[in-house]
Chain A
Amino acid sequence: MTNSSSPKKNEQDQPETSGPVLKSLKTKLSKPEDAEKKILSKKFKDVEISVPIVYGNIAFWLGKKANEYQSHKWTVYVRGATNEDTRRVIKKVVFQLHSSFNNPTRVVESPPFELSEQGWGEFEIAITLHFHSDVCEKPLSLYHQLKLYPEDESTSLSIKKPVVVESYDEIVFPEPSESFLARVQNHPAVNVPRLPVGLTFPTPVEDPSERKRGDTKDHPLSQWFTNFSEADELLQLAAARQQVQTHIAKLRRQITVIEGQQQQLKPSSDQ
């Protein structure tokens, strides 16, 4: 299904053994700035980067302190699915709240990408992820329905146990740029498939902005985070497929039998 597996390259042939790609580019081009630009804009067709994320909200009922307009304290957020730091991919997150809130457009520029508020209403929040310029120029929007009240109406509201609604999804970058790839190749928050032979990157320099931790492993709300594991779902799907395939085989057999019978009957039927 894929075409020729070589990534988009310049005319120059790549050496089979590892010389880093950067070095060979620099020898070809005279100006180092040009080389930089070329590196930044070079994209890799067959390397698909995916960033698993979880987004949702946690809402606590305020109990005695609740009044008509502020009955719950809630936090809406986007986090890495394994609670790893996503700031190498996400530059900022914009949460668009209901218009009755002051300044309903809330911008969060550093991890943890979350927003806490007090209110009484459930509404749809538009979460827009803005990426770094070498990751993706266009922002990506997610939509989350804020949930404050438990699904089961008969459950009594409790101050201690919050309502948690989280959704798992993966951000897919089908053609990542080289600098992006270089920055995240070994980062725990990002899934990078096996790189084609001969393609290596130097380890990225540590970003000073990352001195403050951006992961959510020790987040105060982390005890309520859902652990999304694909294993259960895979098992379920495999079992279902097995059932369906058996059924299909059975039907095919039945059809063949009937066709055989009809073949026998055909010469004897008259028009």
Chain B
Amino acid sequence: MDAKDILGLPKTPLSVPPEKKSQPKKDSQRKPDGISREVYALTGGLAPLMPSIDSSYLKKRPPSDEKITWQWLPFTNSARKDTLQLYHWVRVVNGVPPTGDYSFAKYNKSIEVTKYTDEEYAQHLTDPSWTKQETDQLFDLCEQFDLRFVIIADRFPSSRTMEELKDRYYSVCRSILLARASSPADVSGHPLVKENYNASQEKERKRALSMVLSQTKQQEKKDAEVLAEAKKIAESRMAAKGVEESVMPATENEFPETTIDHNTLVSLSNVRLAPVAAPPSTLVIADTSSTLASLRMLPVYLRTYALEQMVQQASSSAGLRTIKRVEQTLQDLGINLKPRVPTKAVCAEHLELRKEILTLLNLQKQLQYKEAEGSSLREGTTYSEMPGTPKRQVRDHDRTFIPDAMSFGGERGGRKDPKRKGPGRVSETPSSPANKRPRKMKASDL
């Protein structure tokens, strides 16, 4: 907007009034007072977390009755142990130099390391693995290096691990605390008393941490997959609890179990299903009951939410591209992706329509496959020109078709396209559940 101003171009007449109002309102309801509009826009429309300088402060002028001079004066620092005197510029008001300590002296903080006497050592602090000399050395170093155990461990004369040093230090402090306390109750709140340092636990923790850090990418991937599987198994157990017994008819043996995460299916491997399009629908029926069951568990829900869940579950066997094609088909038919009047009947019809469209798309793919095989058989060559686009669309999930296609002649037939998965990859089930997760989430935004 301002750029156009500078360039002298006319602003677009229509969009200015509603735009001005509709854009800033997304960021904030109010213009701030005190900061100009441009600066506000620079910060992304959000107020700064802390006010940097109060704008009124900038406008203030020093009171005219005061006379300010700057003088080069000596000063001492109470944090220093010697009496070194340095010089610096000082703001002098009306001839009176400022009083008080050097302003940075207060930052000279140090850790208080407990000190023990020899008698105390003899009484409470003797330890078989530590000599007094070593313990004294340890405490010296602690004092010198402000309890920075990394340095202390490095400087310690005999080679002791950091955990050992820490253990010794904290147990000595604890014993001293307990010994000096007038009653146990006094110090029971002290962190050392409440939770003692546990050397073995620390060792374990550090080892585990370094293991996690040093994991290779491959290991990370494997871990993620295992976790995803575990989560799915847990979820399927939950779903199975709410579902009634449903003995569903077979799926073919070679039919890759792409939906193992839903119901437990009783598979009668004798039954062979001729139309490959049927298995998706039988699985879909099985899953519907689990979604319905989970909906019935809710005390209340909205019809639109229920429809979303059912649509998601129905599309769970389909890849993202297929889902997009379903939506495109719906739009071509003039149907809203989300029904305008979602009554029970309308939602049921909508769901059925979506399922039928899925069937339709599957059949279309199947037909293309058949035609492709047909042409390769007829020509008798090892490969023929395959339509490129459909293959890429199928890549997502339809491994169901590959076994069928492969069983006909020419297993090298036409799969020169490097993107296509070869026969050996058909049973790549480990990756498919992992792939399912992101797709499932995207399917929900209709």
Q: Taking beta carbons and an 8 Å cutoff, which residues of A are in contact with B?
A: 1, 3, 45, 50, 52, 71, 98-100, 120-123, 131, 135-138, 140, 142, 149, 153-154, 168-175, 228-230, 232-234, 236-238, 240-241, 243-245, 247-248, 251-252, 254-255, 258-259, 261-262, 265-266, 269-271
Contact B363 A248 (CB under 8 A): yes
CA distance A168 to B300 in the complex (A): 17
- In contact, A233 and B22 (Cβ under 8 angstroms): no
Contacts between chains A and B (CB distance < 8 A), count? 154
Query: Contacts of A265 on B, CB cut-off 8 Å?
Result: 374, 377-378
CB atoms of A168 and B341 under 8 A apart: yes
Q: List CB contacts (< 8 Å) of B335-352 with chain A.
A: 335, 339-346, 349-350, 352
The 8 A-B pairs of least Cβ separation, nearest first, read A100-B29, A121-B25, A170-B303, A237-B349, A251-B363, A240-B333, A269-B409, A136-B300
- Inter-chain contacts of A261 with B (CB < 8 A): 374
- Inter-chain contact B340/A240, CB cutoff 8 Å: no
| A214 vs B254: C-alpha distance when bound (angstroms) | 62
Choice from B21, B26, B298, B374 contacting A262 with Cβ under 8 Å: B374
By a CB distance below 8 angstroms, the chain B residues around A271 are 409-410
Min distance, Cβ B150 to any Cβ of chain A, angstroms = 47
Interface residue tally of chain B, by bracket?
35 or more
Between A and B, 16 residue pairs with Cβ closer than 8 Å are A100-B29, A100-B30, A122-B25, A138-B299, A142-B302, A168-B341, A170-B343, A170-B344, A230-B343, A236-B334, A245-B356, A248-B360, A251-B364, A251-B366, A266-B409, A269-B409
Q: Are B21 and A171 in contact (CB under 8 A)?
A: no
Given contacts A149-B18, A172-B303, A233-B339, contact A241 B344 (CB under 8 A): no
> Is B359's CB within 8 Å of the partner chain A?
yes
Q: Which of B94-102, B288-296, B425-433 contacts A (4 or more CB under 8 A)?
A: B288-296
Within 8 A of A (CB), among B1-42: 14-15, 18, 21-22, 25-26, 28-30
How far, in Å, is A6 (CB) from chain B's closest CB?
Answer: 14
**B408 on the A face (CB < 8 A):** yes
* Contact in complex: A131, B14 (CB < 8 Å): no
Distance to closest chain A CB from B337 (angstroms): 13
Q: Which residues of B contact A269 (CB under 8 A)?
A: 377, 380, 408-410
Alpha-carbon gap, A121 to B224, bound state (A) = 44
- Does B287 reach chain A (CB closer than 8 Å)? no
A98 to B28, CA, bound (A): 10
Nearest B residue (CB) for A239? B333
Q: Is B306 an interface residue (CB 8 A)?
A: yes
**How close is B446's CB to chain A, nearest CB, in angstroms?**
15
Indicate which residue in B14, B333, B335 contacts A153 across the interface (CB closer than 8 Å).
B14
A171 to B299, alpha carbons, bound, how many Å?
Answer: 11
- Given A171-B300, A233-B346, A240-B333, residue A252 in contact with residue B18 (CB < 8 A): no
B300 close to A243 (CB less than 8 A): no
CA distance A270 to B28 in the complex (A): 73
Question: Which chain A residues border B356 with CB–CB below 8 Å?
Answer: 241, 244-245, 248
For residue B296, which residues in chain A have a CB less than 8 angstroms away from its CB?
45, 174-175
> A251: which B residues are within 8 A, CB to CB?
360, 363-364, 366-367
Q: In terms of DSSP, what is the predominant structure of the interface of chain A? A: mixed
* B301 sits at the interface (CB 8 A): yes
B82 lies within 8 A of chain A by Cβ? no
Complex: how many Å from CA A240 to CA B336? 11
Residue contact B25 to A172, C-beta cutoff 8 Å: no
B373 partner residues in chain A, CB cutoff 8 A:
262
Q: Establish whether residues A241 and B352, one from each chain, have CB atoms under 8 Å apart when the complex forms.
A: yes
List, in ascending order, chain A residues with CB within 8 A of B220's CB.
none
By the criterion CB–CB under 8 Å, are A172 and B29 in contact?
A: no
CB of A237 within 8 A of CB of B353, answer yes
Q: Say yes or no: A123 contacts B25, CB within 8 Å.
A: yes
Q: Which of A136, A236, A241, A255 interacts with B299 by CB under 8 Å?
A: A136
Given the interface pairs A243-B333, A245-B356, A266-B408, the reply to whether A169 lies near B21 with Cβ below 8 Å is no
Known contacts being A169-B302, A171-B302, A172-B302, is A3 close to B244, with CB within 8 Å? yes
In contact, A137 and B299 (Cβ under 8 angstroms): yes
- Point out the residue from B29, B343, B367 that lies within 8 Å of A98, measured CB to CB: B29
Task: Give the residue of B341, B364, B370 whose beta carbon is less than 8 angstroms from that of A230.
Answer: B341
B371 contacts chain A at the CB level, 8 A cutoff: yes
Q: A121-B21, A243-B333, A255-B370 are in contact. Are A234 and B349 (CB under 8 A)?
A: yes
Q: Which residue of B lies closest to A238 (CB)?
A: B349
How far apart are B257's CB and chain A's nearest CB, in angstroms? 23
CB neighbours (8 Å) of B26 from chain A are: 123
Cβ of A99: which chain B residues have Cβ within 8 Å of it?
Answer: 29
Judging by beta carbons under 8 Å apart, are A169 and B303 in contact? yes
Which A-chain residue is minimally distant from B25 (CB atoms)?
A: A121
User: Known contacts being A255-B363, A262-B373, is A120 close to B341, with CB within 8 Å?
Assistant: no
5 more A-B contacts (CB under 8 A) besides A121-B25, A171-B300? A1-B289, A169-B302, A255-B367, A258-B374, A266-B377
Query: With A122-B25, A138-B299, A262-B377 in contact, do A234 and B345 touch (Cβ < 8 Å)?
Result: yes
Contact between A169 and B300, CB atoms less than 8 A apart: no
The reply to whether A241 and B364 contact each other, CB–CB distance below 8 Å, is: no
Task: Give the distance to chain A from B74, nearest Cβ to Cβ, in Å.
Answer: 55
Question: In the complex, which residues of chain B have a beta carbon less than 8 angstroms from the beta carbon of A120?
Answer: 21, 25
Contact of B357 with A by CB under 8 A: yes
Select from chain A the residue with minimum beta-carbon distance to B359: A248
Is B304 an interface residue, CB under 8 A from the partner?
A: yes
Q: Given the complex, which residues of A lie within 8 Å of B366, measured CB to CB?
A: 251, 255
Please measure, in the bound complex, the distance between the C-alpha atom of A258 and the C-alpha atom of B408, giving whole angstroms.
Answer: 13
Q: How far is the CB of A212 from chain B (nearest CB, A)?
A: 26
Quote the shortest CB–CB distance from B313 to chain A (angstroms): 14
